[in-house]
Amino acid sequence: MVYVETSVLVALCVRERMSAAVSRWYATAKDDLISGAWCVTEFASALGIKRRTGQITDEQSAFAWRSFERMCASDLQLTPTEPPVFHQAALLTLDASTGLRAGDALHLAVALECKATTIATLDAVLANNSKKKKIKPVEF
């Protein structure tokens, strides 16, 4: 099972520097793909930021949102986040040596809870912390 973090989902739906590499990976992915249900809010936030900063148009945002919804309906299993997982994420962020921000710690905690063996992320800090927890990052 591969845990897919929001940065990868955004790169799949919005043209970015890593979109081509992420799209190649996605096209050949054979394992089950999972993400925390809260990635829906994080994805929407990323689109809002890109719109506010002029990186994408309203039309591009709407297209990306529809693409994301199709992916969630067909290829990506969304898992709810239970209170103990939030607690685990809090413990990960309390450890300053991890360098994890709250959102990335929550992704890692959900991946651990789901017993993911691999994580797809474009965030180097999350990838390094995943390795420490025996979750292999996808190499794009």
Instruction: Pick the closest to residue 114 from 34, 24, 31, 30 (CA basis).
Output: 34
Measured CA to CA, the distance from residue 120 to residue 132 in angstroms comes to 15
Name residue, tokens 């199709």: 70
Query: How many structural domains compose the chain?
Result: 1
Query: Where do the DSSP E strands lie in 80-132?
Result: 118-120
The domain containing residue 56 runs over which residues? 2-137
The domain spanning residue 36 has which CATH number?
3.40.50.1010
Query: Would you give the distance in Å from CA 126 to the centre of its chain?
Result: 10
Q: With H, G, I as helix, E, B as strand and everything else as coil, classify residue 103.
A: helix
Residue by residue, what is the 3-state secondary structure of 19-41?
A: HHHHHHHHHHCCCCEEEECCHHH
pLDDT tens digits along 5-22: 999 999 999 999 999 999
Largest CA distance in the chain: 41
Query: 33-36 and 118-120: which strand pairing?
Result: unpaired
pLDDT tens digits along 13-72: 999 999 999 999 999 999 999 999 999 999 999 999 999 999 999 999 999 999 999 999
pTM: 0.94
Strand order in the sheet with 2-4: 76-79, 33-36, 2-4, 118-120, 136-137
